[in-house]
Structure 1
Amino acid sequence: MKRIIVPALLGLASVTMAAPASAQANFNSCLSSLRSQAAAKGISGQAFDVATRGVTPDLTILDLMNNQPEFKTPIWDYLSALVDEERVQDGRAAMRQWGQALASAEARFGVDRHAIAGVWGVESNFGKDIGGRSLIQSLTTLVCYAPRRNEYFKGELMATLKIVQDGDINPANLRGSWAGAFGHTQFMPSTFQRLAVDGDGDGRRDIMNSVPDAVHSTANFLKKAGWVNGLPWGYEVRLPQNFNASLAGRKNKKPLATWAAMGVRRVDGRPLSGNYAAGIIIPAGVNGPAFLVTKNFDAVYSYNAAESYGLAIALLGDRLKGLPGIQTAWPTDDPPLSRAQRRELQQLLTARGYDVGEPDGKIGAKTREAIKDVERRIGLEPRGRPGGKVLEALRG
């Protein structure tokens, strides 16, 4: 649950990278102050000392904050990487393995198990990409060296210390993203405190090591966010030719009968049916795929406050049910790549002498620079985008 929004982090370039000795001295002073503040929050000195013993600042986190990628990912690239055949197959395997935990979470909270699995798949690739940074190290570094977000990160640090004090998770196992999200479904520590539940009956809430705890906690989040049992999240629709784009928007909900009267149909041509309100979102404009979305999409959206993210979860959940993917073509002549295709692209770049690191399907700075060079060579604008045209050029 990656709550750190890029615009909120602008301005951190002014943070000065101190020399190691000076940085450690300043860090120790900051920790001393935090110990007193933690005590005022009901966190014992023993819990604080156990959690922070031997911790040092990780100033590379400031680089991650200050150097956010400027590359804007088109919606079709975003979804292609998150909802590809590989993830669908991995998700079906995970749902077979943890079917009982998902079924009990669905029964307990009234949230579709496929939606829960969709969150799990998008957030951590079904537990494969949980993140390896120490939460205590990351959050203390952010509190002590990121003044513009000091109070936010301090709140997350205090929530993490409470997790340690309560004994839910061993502090050595509290590892996640640089911003503090952790576990199979990437809760922020404050969200954990509010909404994590025990799903396996051992009396603890451990979303790091217990899949039942993670999926039950995620179901609780979605339920508290307004999930309605039995209501679809939505589905792809076909818009009439003269559709007014100003009517689109997740919040602009109307009865299905109103949309039907305007000529909106399901993507397969069937009429709309149901007694509920919904909005229509058009993430690539009226010439791309359109989706009718209900309150349940809003619940998924609230997990990370982005429509593209919500669509990834919803569409992955549909694929895990055996439903087809998006039927309408995206408005691009340069098709997006799956993760398998991205790995192939990286392998081809390596074979041509580019240093892109391990071919893992993750498009980092080295891969983007290599792609830009290929784009220049084939007459495309050098954007560093891993698209079909670049892949075909490399194949040739």
Structure 2
Amino acid sequence: MKNALRSGIALGATMLGLAFPLVGQAASDNYADRPEAKALYETLEAEGFERDYLRSVLDDAKQQESILKAMSRPAEKRLTWGEYRNIFIQPKRIERGVKFWQEHADTLARAEAEYGVPAEVIVAIIGVETHYGRIMGNYRVLDALATLGFDYPRRSEFFLGQLEDYLRMTREESIEPGTLKGSYAGAMGYGQFIPSSFRHYAIDFDGDGHRNIWSNPVDAIGSVANYFAEHGWKSGEPVRANVVMGTPADPEWINAGLKPEVSLAQWRERDIRTHKGLDMDQPATLMRLEMEDGDHYWFGLHNFYVITRYNHSRLYGMAVYELSQAIAEARKKG
């Protein structure tokens, strides 16, 4: 889920830099024999897995050097907001978003009614993540998670944990581990869920007994809506607010974090205001994002923070929100 640009440029995990050599080849060409695999074996054996099975799965996993190289160039670290925005807020993606909404209008309406998440936000997530299912990734998920778990020391603990969850997930869903494909960070399906997110938030929204986010847009839509609801989406509340800067902001206040912790009333006391009509007791975070014509400022509100639980990037949050609004407006115009 932390994969911002799978459908715009070399897509996958978004927040990490490659600062380590490709250690896997020097250590062992077979992941099943790697010392780090011992803990995985012991953990999963305690849950009823057989070691021979686990060894056979890891023996099948292959290091993908291109994944390690891709981790060194996450777009959120390289692009300005203006550059990042231009990848997603463009006519073809908006047009296809309207079409996706039209094709799945009943499902989106049901998801919005049950979970309180606007249809346009669900559509925008799927549009940013996979261009509405067109680009879901071509790496075997097994290879991606093994490569990053064993050969990317900076986040090895995280990705080994995802590998464990992937093996649990494939057992629970009766799927062969070597068959699924996804992003270079092991994210899967229309909404690009990592294995732990799949296990916690994917749902069977069409009632057929399977949670299929790979080829069933109904389950994918319901799963994205459930993810947002479980992360605290507040129905009917705004996502961001305009900023009117009375006096220059203290640099320490700007882009200080994604979580809103200072109320709009407190910002007003600092002579940083927003438009009328908002609950001044609600918290907001002050964001500055670089455009071609200079810096732009916004307040990120609670629902903006919820969007960034999908991908911990303010650029990502802004792209999803602005795409959602562009799709909704285009749909109204017909």
The answer to whether TM tops 0.5 is yes
Q: Is the 8 A contact 2:201 2:227 kept in 1?
A: yes
> Cα distance 1:283–1:104, how it changes in 2: closer, same or farther (>3 A)?
same
Paired-residue identity, %: 25
Residue of structure 1 in register with 2:2 after alignment: 2
1:239 paired with 2:244, answer yes
Task: Write the distance in 2 (CA, Å) between the matches of 1:178 and 1:293.
Answer: 29
Unaligned runs of 5+ in 2: 4-12
In 1, distance between residues paired with 2:81 and 2:189? Answer: 26
Counterpart residue type for residue 171 of structure 2: Q
Aligned pair 1:27/2:31, yes or no? yes
Q: Alignment partner of 1:322: what SS?
A: helix
Q: Secondary structure at the match of 1:291?
A: strand
Shift of 1:258: 6.4
CA 1:222–1:35: 2 relative to 1, 3 Å: same
- Alpha-carbon distance between aligned partners in 2 of 1:70 and 1:120, rounded to the nearest angstrom: 18
Q: Does 1:73 align with 2:82?
A: no
Q: Is the 8 A contact 2:149 2:160 kept in 1?
A: yes
Q: What corresponds to 2:201 in structure 1? A: 195
Deviation track 1:318-338 (CA, whole Å, cap 9, x = no partner) reads 1111079xxxxxxxxxxxxxx
Provide the residue aligned with 2:7 in structure 1: none
Structure 1, 237-246 or 101-110: larger mean CA deviation: 237-246
Map of 2:263 onto structure 1: 254
Question: Cα deviations across residues 142-200 of structure 1 (Å, max 9, x unaligned)?
Answer: 33333443322111011111111112655455211122111111111111111111111
1:309 and 2:313 are equivalent in the alignment = no
Could you tell me how far 1:120 is from its partner in structure 2?
A: 0.8
Secondary structure of the residue aligned to 2:290 is coil
Distance in 2, matches of 1:248 and 1:46, equals 53
Q: Give, in angstroms, the shift of residue 300 of structure 1.
A: 0.4
> Is it true that 1:321 corresponds to 2:328 in the alignment?
yes
Aligned counterpart for 2:20 among listed residues 12, 19, 31 = 12
Q: Which of the two has higher C-alpha Rg? A: 1
CA distance in 2, matches of 1:156, 1:223: 22
TM-score (structure 1 length as normaliser): 0.69
1:230: how far off?
1.0
> Cα deviations across residues 71-112 of structure 1 (Å, max 9, x unaligned)?
821110101111111111110001111112211111111111
User: Equivalents in 2 of 1:10, 1:106: separation in Å?
Assistant: 39
CA separation of 1:163 and 1:104: change in aligned 2, threshold 3 A: same
Unaligned runs of 5+ in 1: 266-270, 325-396
What is the TM-score of this pair, normalised by structure 2?
A: 0.80
Corresponding position of 2:302: 295
Shift of 1:65: 3.6
Q: CA 1:151–1:252 in structure 2 vs 1: closer, same or farther (change >3 Å)?
A: closer
Code of the residue aligned with 1:141 in structure 2: it is T
Paired residue for 1:213?
219
Alignment: residue pair count: 313
Please give the alpha-carbon distance, in whole angstroms, between the structure 1 residues aligned to 2:80 and 2:299. Answer: 20
Structure of higher RCO (CA pairs closer than 8 Å, 6+ residues apart): 2
1:168 touches 1:205 (CA, 8 Å); kept in 2?
no
- The amino acid that maps onto 2:20 is L
Residue matched to 1:334: none
1:107 is matched with which residue: 89, 93, 113? 113
Helix, strand or coil at the partner of 1:230:
coil
The aligned counterpart of 1:124 is: 130
> CA, structure 1 residues 196+50, in 2 after alignment: closer, same or farther (shift >3 Å)?
farther
